[in-house]
Each structure stands twice: as structure tokens, then as C-alpha cells.
Amino acid sequence: MSILTRIVAFTLAWLPLILLAQPKPNIIVIVADDLGYSDLGCYGGEIQTPHLDRLAKEGIRFTQFYNNAKCTQTRAALLSGLYHHQTQQSLKTPNHVTMAEVLKDSGYRTLMSGKWHLSKTPLDRGFDRYFGFLNGAVNFFTGMNRATGENFMRLDREVFKVPKEGFYTTDAFTDYAIEFINEANAKKKPFFLYLAHNAPHFPLHALPEDIAKYRGKYKKGWDALRQERFERMKKLGIISKKWSLTPRDAIVPLWDTLTEKQKDEEDLLMAVYAAMVDRLDQNIGRLTQHLMKAGLDQNTLILFFSDNGGCPYEFDRTPDLPPGPKESYRTYNSEWANVSNTPFRLYKQWSHEGGISTPMIAHWPKGIKNPGTTDRSALHLIDVFPTLLELAKASYPKKFNGKQILPLEGESFLTALEGKPLNRKRPLFFEYQGNRAVRWGDWKLVAERSMKWELYNIPNDRTETQNLIQVESERASKLASLYEEWAKRTGALSNQASVRKKPSTQKR
């Protein structure tokens, strides 16, 4: 046997052990709250987001990543890999396992910082450490529940008493995320961090120095800003040049009909919102810089996306106070949410593109083959769990805690990180309070609650301006049948039940 033959034989014999010895990648999943599709600089926005822009430049921008249009429903689907209906929308049922539970069993240190908004607590569902709040929204400066004043802030299982001065949730969540990473690194274990920020969810709370950066920049109005974002998105390759910008929402007034005082008030609302996004980006910068200093950045996969589209809710519980300080309670309303969701229709809660579309950035220096690219694969929250399983070389169990669990609904998009777009094998479905849709290939069937189906060809018209239901009736019928089968299987509302629901009373 020659020396070369011996070397080859030796290498092949030891290759499995060599592969096993390679460190598993760290995983960070960052979820923003109520961020619109076009709010980031790398997706066409005017808000300063240099750190996320850098991650996109060094990683991959996904243009067709979908969420569930609502916060709890998105979080349930993300953590379970199931449609939210299968978990009773908040991980209440025992028929599933969370990604934290599986990754923990695979040797990962499982960490969470931020908004939970599901049943039980993170430590009950596989997380080793937790800092954040258990409910849906809090005061950014006090950590108190927005409606009752109750303290839902927790450090692991203990009530966390927020300092009276110097506290801001976006900063604090990053502080603890970094602390937890350091603990995992000291234990020489790979980590999975779920960082669920509440920014830029209402109430509009931001630091004065951040607000000052944007004051006066929005006096040109929502009509001009939507058009500017639309043009930038086309230049960036985020959207197709053949798509039309959707008309301004009918309930949003023409900017020039506002008085100068009203324009100034509206400018401040959007300036505070922009400041919240800016501070979110600053903290992602803090986190990524820490990873670099600790030598963890090269083999850490970071995924960033939003839980739903821009939020049209209109709450003004402190009309005598400007937005920004801790005493105020304001939202930025449908006028500016229409800008956040450029170029799409509708908002949070709806299954039209404005409700379910999110920017999604993947960054992983060691694993991404073609950094700086744009991927147009149709992806969904339910795909994250199987992707992380494949990445971590972990197995999905048939039973958990002695109980049979449902199989995963999503498909791994790990190949997309390697430069090969995902070719979906199954349709994607959406339903929340009667707003519903099915996306299969180039086609999307969608409807608002109480309304009939609409049909759109996504490559030609993702802004959903040309309803083809009449000319493609046979195709629409097939998609509708797929939806009914899925709704029956998962417990979602059928089309008939959705049509019977009353129209949404949400002002938008």
C-alpha cells in the first residue's frame, strides 16, 4: 500500500470523528415587534440602520419571508414549527415541542431576552435563562404593563424590579443577552439566543437624543415618503420594477390637507417611531460587536425579522402629552403604518402582503456561501425550526414528555444559505380572525374577514392591485380547496366561517 493510499484511508476512517468534533454554530434569532417591510435602510427606508445594513451586506436579504400578521401567533409558530392554530395560538396544547427544548437536548445553552407573550414562561419551555416581560406590551422606561400597571418583568422566574432611572427595554434586553452569551461561552457550550425586542411596538417611547435625529425629517409627508421608499426599493432590487405602488389607504388624508400644526404633530409621531427603530439597530450593533470581540461572530448564525407588518392601531390615551416620554401613551396610526408597509396593502392582522411580509436578514460568515445576495424564496416562520435542526444536526422527536407530538409543518432553508433557493414542496397558509390566504408557487389567494377571495400573481403583482379571480377561476377554486383542507386539519377558520364574521372594526 502506497503512502498516499494510507493517508487517504486514514483520513476516511477518521472523517466522521473530525466532523463531529467541529463546533456547532451558535444561533441568534432576533424578532422586532411591529416593524414594517420598508423601515430598514437595506429595504428602502430612510431610518438609519447601519448595523442591520451591514449584516445584510455581509449576509443574505430575503424578500419573501412571511410571518403570521400578529405577535402571539407569530411567536407560537416560530418556536413550535407549527401553524399557530395547532398550538391553540400560544403554546397551550401538549402536542408540540419548542426549538429551545430540542436544541437544549442537543447540547445547546438556551437563552432568551425580551417579549414572551405566550402561555407559561420561557423556563417552562426549554430555556435555561430568561430576562424580559411575559405579556404583550410594556412601558419602555418602567417595564410596567401598559394597561394595568402590573409588573410582568422577570429575571428567570423571579419578578424583576426595574430601576427608577436609566432603564430602557431595548438597551436592557441587549445587556442581558450579552450577559447570557458570556455565561454560555464560559461553559464552552454552543448557544441559542432568542432575542425578542418590543421595539418599535407602541407606546411610542424613545430617548430624546434619538428623537432629535429625526425631528423635522417627516414634514414632507406620508405621500412623498411612500414614493421615495418605493423608488429606493426598486433600485435596491427588493421589489420588481413592474409592480405598482398601492394607493394611499382611503382613510389616510392627503398630506397637504393638514394644517401646519397637524403636520408638526405627525412629524413628531414618526420621528419617535424612527428613533425606536434607530435604537433597536444601535443595540444590534452592540450585540454583534460583542460577538466579534469574543471571537464568536464567524460561526454564529443571526436571523432577523419582524413579527408582523406595520401597526395601524390608533391609541391616544395621553392627548395632552407629546409622544416619546414615559408618561405618554401614543401610537403612530395607519397614516404612518401605510408608509412602513410600502409598497404593500393593509397592515398587522391582515393576510395581504402588508400584514404578513417582513424584512429578513441572515448573517453567518462561516456558512453563507454568497454574502451580499438577495434571495426571493417564499419562506415562512414555520421554516425556521427545521432549518435550525438541520444546522445543529439535531433530531426532531416523535414524542416529548411521553406524549405524541405533531410533525413539523415547515421546510429547512439551509440550502438557501448555501446559495440554492428553496424549492417549496408544500403551500403556505395564513389565517387570523378570518383574514386568510394560501400561497402556492406564483399565486396567492387572499381575503379579508367577511370578504370574498381575491387572486394575485405574485411575481407580476405582489402589491395586490390586479385581482385575477375572474380570469383564473379554476386556479382560484383549486387553491380554495387546499385552504379548506388545511383549515380542517389545523383548526383554522374555514372560508365560510370567515365570510360570516363581521368586518373588522379596527380603524385603519
Supply the residues annotated as catalytic.
71, 117
One-letter amino acid of 458 = I
Q: How many CB atoms lie within 10 A of CB 4?
A: 8
Helix 71-80 vs helix 384-392: crossing angle, to nearest 10: 30
How far, in Å, are 145, 168, 256, 444, 451 from residue 141 at the CA level? 11, 5, 35, 41, 41
Whole-number Cα distances in Å, 82 to 86, 95, 146, 401: 6, 10, 30, 18
Cα dist from 74 to 70, 90, 207, 349, 504, whole Å: 6, 9, 28, 11, 20
Q: How far apart are CA 201 and CA 128, in angstroms?
A: 26
Is 483 in a helix, a strand, or coil?
helix
8 A C-beta contact, residue 342 and residue 229: yes
Residue type, 61: R
Q: For residue 307, count CB atoms less than 10 angstroms from its CB and return exposed for 0-12, middle for 13-18, buried for 19 or more.
A: buried
Task: Give the long-range contacts of residues 248-251, CB within 8 A, separation 24 or more.
Answer: 248/222, 248/223, 248/338, 249/334, 249/338, 249/508, 251/334, 251/507, 251/508
Is residue 179 a contact partner of residue 130, using CB atoms and an 8 Å limit?
no
Alpha helices by DSSP H, listed for 248-383, are: 260-293, 333-340, 353-356
**In degrees rounded to 5, what are phi and psi of residue 269?**
-55, -50
Closest CA to 382 of 412, 339, 419: 412
Helix (H) or strand (E) holding 181: helix 169-186
What crossing angle do the helices spanning 333-340 and 260-293 adopt, rounded to 10°?
50
CA angle 140, 144, 146 (to 5 degrees): 80
293: which 3 cell numbers?
470581540
Length of the chain: 508
Q: Cell 444546522 sits at which residue?
A: 391
Residue 456 C-beta-side C-alpha neighbours within 13 Å? 22
